[in-house]
Structure 1
Amino acid sequence: MDVSKVKGYTLIELIVVIVIVGTLSVTSAPVFIYIADDAETSQTISTMSAFKNGLHLLHVKSIVSGTDTLDINNTQIAFSGDGWPVGSSRNSQGCAELWDALMDGVGDINVVQTYSNNLQPGWNTYAHQDICAYINTHEDVPVAENDAPHFVYLIDDMSFPGRGLNYDGKAGDVIAYRIE
């Protein structure tokens, strides 16, 4: 057998093909990574828009009905003095209740109780002061170490600096963070 040829190709031809395939893989890998990041960002933005629209509908429903609680999908949703939904409480569980009431069909959400608890792959919620944060991640890392795109819902007017971000806004604001 002639080792200078493999299945009809010369060693030079094979080396050229390997160099071309290697070059393509090195140059296309970052593009694939950027596409994956763009998909995560796009999903966060579209989910945030749906969440925000649902919040505004509940806000109007609360004002029109003149009540401070509503039953949404078998969950009692309470409202702030300004008519913004808060769930049954102003904690991570209340944020999850808002998710369940507003995002029917999107899927379950993991409830993270403290800043040092780990996020789970998929959607997570974490409450701090009067902020509900909604984070979609593929990593199993503590909230404090997470860099995924996310959005927050401000139940009341507030300003809170955290991890190089300034969570600042008015009651009812839904704001995206780490969106590149």
Structure 2
Amino acid sequence: EPFFTTKGVGKGTGLGLSMVHGMAEQLGGRLALDSRLGKGTTVEIWLPAAGSAAAAEPVQLPVEPKAEVELTARPLTVLAVDDDALVLMNTTALLEDLGHRVIEASSAREALALLEGDDAVDLLITDHAMPQMTGAQLIAEVGQRWPKLPVILATGYADLPAGAGVGVLRLNKPFWQADLEKAVAAAMVRRATAAAA
């Protein structure tokens, strides 16, 4: 089901446990929660141990079918915007792991200031629910001032206000690195198509 949060703007995304759960599963482990009234909550992260025999043998990962869009070949300069420091750090790490250079902004206003000072940004990835200026408002401003800059709206909200992010690529939180990689590739294909038109 689409992720949604009951937290107010600027109060966090509610993605903490989802990120930990996803990380544990990605590593072949699991997250276990045990909560008892009056006694507290125990959180356990179980991860597989790699013995010397396991380390010596290469792991065969399942081959996924080829994506519909070609994945980006060249490194990009990506402006990542999120008011949640943990989510921003995770997005940055995923992008850097894909070979991209990342500029971080913790608000839409900071992102606009960075765009004014750096014309080498290839892509903007922004959260939606941020205080003072939402991701949708940032996208509208960027569309007026830098119309050729491709944008990805990364959000945990199932529904956005009417007109918000119309025609913008959307990446649902929480996302895997493969989802992020496909969204980046799709954004760059859109930019190339628009430039050729």
TM-score (norm 1): 0.34
TM-score (norm 2): 0.32
Q: Which has the higher strand share?
A: 1
Greater gyration radius? 1
